[in-house]
Chains A and B, each alone.
Chain A
Amino acid sequence: MNAAAALFSHYRRHPLQLGALALMILIATMLWSGMDHLTDQARSSLGRAEQSLSEGSRVIREDGAPLTVADFARLRRAGLCVMPWLEVPDPDGVGRLIGIDPLAAACFASGSQSGEQPALDGEPFIDIARAARLAGAQGDGAGSLVLLAADSVSADRLPAGYALAPFARGPDTGELGASFLLNLDALGVLVLLITALLLRAVYQLSIVQRRDSFALLHRFGVPGGRINGLLMIEVLVLAGVCVLPGVWAGAQLARALGEGFGRSLEGLFDVTLYADGSQWWRPILVMMVVVLIACLPIRTRRHWLQRSRGVGWLALALLAIGMVWVAGSPGLVWTFVAVGLVFVGAGVLVPRLMAGIMAALSSSVDDPLGRWRYRELGVMARQLALPVVALQFTLALVLAVQALVTTFEATFEQWLDQRLAAHWYVQVPEGRSGDRAEDWLAHQLTSDTAAWHRILRGTVMVATGAGSSHRVDLLAVSPVGPLMKQWTLQSSLADPWQRLAGSQGVLINEQLALRYGVGVGDSLALTLNGRTQSRKVLGVYADYGRPFGEVLVNGADLPADFQPEFESFSISPGGRGKAWLVSGLQQIWQVPEIEIRENSDIRTMATRVFRQTFVLTRAMTFLTLTLAGTALLIMGWVFITSRAWYLQLLVTWGLSRREALGELMRVSLGLTTTVSLLALPLGVWLTWVLVHRINPQAFGWSLPMAVYPGFWLELLALSTVIGLGIAALMGRQLRPGRMVALPANQSGGGER
């Protein structure tokens, strides 16, 4: 047998350990590369949304009907440079594909100022024939035709029946988009960190078990350098074999989570997630490096961190600095750095704290068995420091994310109830005005049980006290009636709705208030169609899930030449039937079809979008928890195997097998429960950071802070299951015939 075969024979004796290690690398790679894939796509989609193409024009039909190929031909034959644009969901992946006609796009080069054809090659751009086939296969509504207009197309050159409209594929998300990506990156880094800790822990144990093999090989003349080299080859091969399927599985994970993630992006930033060719080599490279770093320097002496007393104080200082820093950090990056400091501090402190507590407890009891139990727990806390810290981080993360999502869910439901107060919603068709419909509804809906208002949306320039101007969304409502008055305001003057109805001011959303430091009673200078008016802020309303500032005005205050980007009516008909509304509006707008959307449909859609928004976050935390739990289980098992000789002593001391098993169970449950309890304060603190620091900085809106002790119990139960699992595995070691007397120097960890 040569040196390599002797070294690697360890895994022949411990195939499950090899399998566990491989499984961990695979799952970790899947988690991180899936996350990375989606983040990459989001980054690319946000980038594309900000490209110049998003600021172009499109041609629409004045009768509001959808565009067809016949419209395209008609416009082209009128000498207008228009190109078709057909977006469809990518059936084989994540995001959307854009069908274009390269032949029709050619005129954009000759008609544009720059003389350059827009770069439309490669995914997500595909030939429009393929997009049309996909749209056909996916059913109605899978894609609607847009006709983009070149710079040379002006409104006066359009044939009768057509108009120009802005083609905006997404507003400027600016820093918020970057913050969103930073959030994802941070979650990815945390997953990577937890993974590295777990890998290192599991591999370290296998190395401890192989110390005698190394010593024997050395005695037979194999130099230490060669042993190190062989170990490096072992890690490289293991990483190579596991990382590749892991990256493949990551792509599948990204695909599975893609729809929800795409909706997040749409819901948060109005940005469509486009399919994109991903760089397959990057996750492979990153994971190979992580595995190497986690596993290779393993044979160095025990780290000074575990020995030096000063380290404890340093960790405590880091923890304190991080906590203070988070409270006052100026931006998201600094918040993450501060959170990192707290995690490092907690990571170093927790195993020491646990060992210290156990040492103190063991000194305080007279019962030898109790003393043994606490001592054994202290040893476990030290020996399993890395997986214990990883499990603690994961539990804290899961707890915080759950609190955030549950709080958001509750708040969102409440918010929906307020916002969706009407029974029906009707969008004014493109090319039509709501003026006559407003008059008609005012005459028709006079009963006390009926309520309605007209909504116009656009943008407005807002000048704040600091002298700077910003473009924000404009929401105009008229008449200001009962449908609005249930809105919860975060702060307001007395009778804000009456004052709004009386045109005495405006309301603003929380995002605008936070971002520009505007409060109730302040004056805002609003510029619309070149005219500026000063308006008092009557109140601030919560506006969850939107990144942009918004001003709510009375529709009656809008200038007559205001051109809305969107117009609709919210109607509670008070006993009138749908047919009445349809025929009335058809007559007014002269369109063949009127689409009335039910309150329940919109609510269902909004809730679905909301739920999918957090699919990714939840899935990632759940999978990380699974990974951490499995790792601790494996670690506990391997660790206990190495301490079998000590466990045997319990029986030697006169305990029955059943009693010895009971003691083992108490030890393992003690470990996992302590980890969970120590994770609680970290989790609650992290919830606070997410709700009060990261969320406003990343998305522009905040939520009320809430904690959910019921979920703490669930996590505690999960820890108990892991503890019982470890105990069950330990119990196998106490079976008759399994006991092997080991000299102390062969016992794993070397502690007694």
Chain B
Amino acid sequence: MNARILVTAIFFFMAGCSDSGDDSGFAGLAESVPSPSDNGGFLQPGPDVGISLPEDFGPHPRYRVEWWYLTANLVTPSGAPLGLQWTQFRQGFRPRDPAEAPEPDSWSLDAAWMAHAAVSWRDRHWFAERLARADTGAAGAEAAPLDIWLDDWELKAMSGTTWQLNVRSHKPAAAFRYDLTLTLRGKPVLHGQNGFSVKSDSGEGSMYFSLVDIDIRGTVTIEDNTIPVTGQGWFDREWSSQFLKRGQQGWDWFALHLDSGDKLMAFRLRGEDQTFVSGTWIPEEGSPQALGNEDLSLAILDSRDGYPVRWHIEVPGHNLDLQVAAPPGRYVNEGRFPYWESPVQVEGNRTGVGYMELTGY
């Protein structure tokens, strides 16, 4: 999961709103959508939907929201850690059949796209945001060969297991770019039940799969300083129409690369009276295992600027007792809906690195 759904921000942007408050959840993700039985309503995900690849790398215009999301824990030649995020969101305003794209010169607003890019280095954070109307050609996504783009930001498949990510921000206050080659290893991990990841006791959720073992090489340029980087990445693919339950305000999400080669994805959704916890344990050998409320605990140890930046994560069934902490600094993506997005260091009975996303604070 991730800063997801800032997509909805676009909806609010278009509607002239600027506040995510009340029951609609972070970025309006708990907004009710018409049920699929309603005429013209968006489809709802469920355990029976299943994941089809490579088709599900492409867009789902019959669902309301979706995103493609990459985080990377990289190191510079001097060994200094450098974190990096790229996300592209699609927000549908009208459901439609994938084959029924409107004519570009109608400037139709069936959907909007938003992309976020951030670099975290030496306790500093650079962030940029892009927006685009769907169906003009300025932004879009294709499943095979994979191509996701918005303006000149693009994640593109060069071969079956090699992708290229190019992002450049011309913002005077955040001038950076990155040009990375991603080498995919391992199979996609399906979260939850057959790829359906439940987000509340009442069954709201999303279709969700990840590529958790990605080797990354390339360069990151920050303020005219080009730095070669190497490291590992985590790619998420998620879509839904009713992401949050009404009353849920936001989430805390973690994707951890343990030095043992195991991976852990964990999140908690904060409701008015209870929180919903879920995750996936991905051992280096063997099959991924879904984690529920009883398998996993997340507790805040320290906060900074109103954000919980140090956590205690326990998975007793897999003997995990971890302290997860963000480095010093402020890692808020100051877009239309601000949220925290930072690399983290893992300590405890295992060590490692990862990414943390905190929304709705």
A residues apposed to B, CB below 8 Å:
68-70, 72-74, 76-79, 81, 84, 86, 99, 101-104, 106-107, 110-111, 115, 121, 127-129, 131-133, 136, 152
Please give, as numbers and ranges, the residues of chain A lying within 8 Å of B104 by CB-CB distance. Answer: 68-70, 73
> Are B152 and A78 touching (Cβ within 8 A)?
yes
List 7 additional contacts besides A72-B137, A104-B138; criterion CB under 8 Å: A69-B104, A73-B137, A76-B132, A77-B149, A110-B170, A132-B106, A132-B107
* CA A100 to CA B136, docked complex, whole Å: 14
Q: Which one of A79, A81, A129 lies within 8 Å of B107 (CB-CB)?
A: A129
> Are B108 and A69 touching (Cβ within 8 A)?
no
> Are A84 and B131 touching (Cβ within 8 A)?
no
| Interface CB pairs A-B, < 8 A, 21 | A68-B104, A69-B105, A72-B136, A73-B138, A76-B132, A77-B138, A77-B152, A79-B151, A86-B107, A102-B13, A103-B132, A104-B132, A107-B131, A110-B170, A110-B171, A111-B171, A128-B107, A129-B106, A131-B107, A132-B105, A133-B106
Judge whether B168 is part of the interface by a CB distance below 8 angstroms.
Answer: yes
Mark out the residues of chain B between 100 and 114 whose CB falls within 8 Å of any chain A CB in the assembled complex: 104-109, 112
> Are A129 and B130 touching (Cβ within 8 A)?
no
Please give, as numbers and ranges, the residues of chain B lying within 8 Å of A111 by CB-CB distance. Answer: 170-171
* CA A653 to CA B172, docked complex, whole Å: 99
Please give, as numbers and ranges, the residues of chain A lying within 8 Å of B133 by CB-CB distance. Answer: 101, 103-104
Judge whether B7 is part of the interface by a CB distance below 8 angstroms.
Answer: no
Please give, as numbers and ranges, the residues of chain B lying within 8 Å of A104 by CB-CB distance. Answer: 131-133, 138
Please give, as numbers and ranges, the residues of chain A lying within 8 Å of B14 by CB-CB distance. Answer: 102-103
Contact with A along B4-34 (1 / 0, CB 8 A): 0000001001101000000000000000000
A72-B138, A77-B149, A79-B151 as given contacts; A99 in contact with B13, CB under 8 Å: no
> Are B10 and A69 touching (Cβ within 8 A)?
no
Please give, as numbers and ranges, the residues of chain A lying within 8 Å of B10 by CB-CB distance. Answer: 103
Q: Which A residue sits closest to B169, measured CB to CB? A: A110
* CA A68 to CA B108, docked complex, whole Å: 14
> Are B107 and A84 touching (Cβ within 8 A)?
yes
Mark out the residues of chain B between 119 and 157 whose CB falls within 8 Å of any chain A CB in the assembled complex: 128-133, 136-138, 149, 151-152
Please give, as numbers and ranges, the residues of chain A lying within 8 Å of B105 by CB-CB distance. Answer: 68-69, 132
* CA A77 to CA B132, docked complex, whole Å: 11
Please give, as numbers and ranges, the residues of chain A lying within 8 Å of B149 by CB-CB distance. Answer: 77
Please give, as numbers and ranges, the residues of chain A lying within 8 Å of B151 by CB-CB distance. Answer: 76-77, 79, 107
* CA A69 to CA B105, docked complex, whole Å: 6
> Are B136 and A79 touching (Cβ within 8 A)?
no
* CA A106 to CA B150, docked complex, whole Å: 13
Q: Which B residue sits closest to A103, measured CB to CB? A: B131
A79-B151, A79-B168 as given contacts; A106 in contact with B131, CB under 8 Å: yes
Please give, as numbers and ranges, the residues of chain B lying within 8 Å of A102 by CB-CB distance. Answer: 13-14
A76-B138, A101-B133, A129-B109 as given contacts; A152 in contact with B152, CB under 8 Å: no
Q: Which B residue sits closest to A150, measured CB to CB? A: B170
Most A C-beta atoms less than 10 A away, residue of B104, B105, B149? B105
* CA A102 to CA B104, docked complex, whole Å: 16
Distance (Å) between the CB of B269 and the closest chain A CB? Answer: 29
> Are A69 and B137 touching (Cβ within 8 A)?
yes
Please give, as numbers and ranges, the residues of chain A lying within 8 Å of B16 by CB-CB distance. Answer: 121
Most A C-beta atoms less than 10 A away, residue of B14, B107, B152, B172? B107
Q: Which A residue sits closest to B134, measured CB to CB? A: A103
Q: Which B residue sits closest to A100, measured CB to CB? A: B107
* CA A121 to CA B16, docked complex, whole Å: 10
Distance (Å) between the CB of A76 and the closest chain B CB? Answer: 4
Please give, as numbers and ranges, the residues of chain A lying within 8 Å of B136 by CB-CB distance. Answer: 69, 72-73
Q: Which A residue sits closest to B16, measured CB to CB? A: A121
Distance (Å) between the CB of B8 and the closest chain A CB? Answer: 14
Q: Which B residue sits closest to A113, measured CB to CB? A: B172
Q: Which A residue sits closest to B131, measured CB to CB? A: A103
Please give, as numbers and ranges, the residues of chain B lying within 8 Å of A129 by CB-CB distance. Answer: 106-109
Please give, as numbers and ranges, the residues of chain B lying within 8 Å of A115 by CB-CB distance. Answer: 172
Q: Which A residue sits closest to B139, measured CB to CB? A: A76
Most B C-beta atoms less than 10 A away, residue of A86, A110, A132, A133? A110
Q: Which A residue sits closest to B168, measured CB to CB? A: A79
Please give, as numbers and ranges, the residues of chain B lying within 8 Å of A84 by CB-CB distance. Answer: 107
Please give, as numbers and ranges, the residues of chain B lying within 8 Å of A106 by CB-CB distance. Answer: 129-131
> Are A127 and B138 touching (Cβ within 8 A)?
no
* CA A136 to CA B103, docked complex, whole Å: 12
Please give, as numbers and ranges, the residues of chain A lying within 8 Å of B13 by CB-CB distance. Answer: 102-103
Distance (Å) between the CB of B245 and the closest chain A CB? Answer: 29
Distance (Å) between the CB of A626 and the closest chain B CB? Answer: 45
Please give, as numbers and ranges, the residues of chain B lying within 8 Å of A69 by CB-CB distance. Answer: 104-105, 107, 136-137
Distance (Å) between the CB of B117 and the closest chain A CB? Answer: 13
Distance (Å) between the CB of A615 and the closest chain B CB? Answer: 34
Q: Which B residue sits closest to A75, measured CB to CB? A: B138
Distance (Å) between the CB of B154 and the closest chain A CB? Answer: 8
Most B C-beta atoms less than 10 A away, residue of A70, A73, A84, A128? A73
Distance (Å) between the CB of B178 and the closest chain A CB? Answer: 14
Q: Which B residue sits closest to A130, measured CB to CB? A: B107
* CA A132 to CA B133, docked complex, whole Å: 14
Q: Which one of B109, B129, B131, B172 lies within 8 Å of A127 (CB-CB)?
A: B109
* CA A27 to CA B109, docked complex, whole Å: 44
A70-B104, A128-B107 as given contacts; A79 in contact with B138, CB under 8 Å: no
The 8 closest A-B pairs by CB, nearest first: A73-B137, A79-B152, A76-B138, A69-B104, A103-B131, A128-B107, A129-B107, A73-B138
Q: Which A residue sits closest to B14, measured CB to CB? A: A102
> Are B170 and A152 touching (Cβ within 8 A)?
yes
Contact with A along B75-102 (1 / 0, CB 8 A): 0000000000000000000000000000
* CA A102 to CA B130, docked complex, whole Å: 12
* CA A73 to CA B150, docked complex, whole Å: 10
Distance (Å) between the CB of B241 and the closest chain A CB? Answer: 21
Q: Which A residue sits closest to B10, measured CB to CB? A: A103
Contact with A along B236-271 (1 / 0, CB 8 A): 000000000000000000000000000000000000
> Are A70 and B106 touching (Cβ within 8 A)?
no
* CA A127 to CA B109, docked complex, whole Å: 9
Please give, as numbers and ranges, the residues of chain A lying within 8 Å of B106 by CB-CB distance. Answer: 129, 132-133, 136
Distance (Å) between the CB of A145 and the closest chain B CB? Answer: 8
Q: Which B residue sits closest to A79, measured CB to CB? A: B152
* CA A72 to CA B138, docked complex, whole Å: 7
> Are B112 and A99 touching (Cβ within 8 A)?
no
Q: Which B residue sits closest to A84, measured CB to CB? A: B107
Please give, as numbers and ranges, the residues of chain A lying within 8 Å of B170 by CB-CB distance. Answer: 79, 81, 110-111, 152
Q: Which A residue sits closest to B113, measured CB to CB? A: A103
Please give, as numbers and ranges, the residues of chain A lying within 8 Å of B171 by CB-CB distance. Answer: 110-111
Distance (Å) between the CB of A138 and the closest chain B CB? Answer: 15
* CA A128 to CA B138, docked complex, whole Å: 15
* CA A132 to CA B106, docked complex, whole Å: 6
Q: Which B residue sits closest to A101, measured CB to CB? A: B133
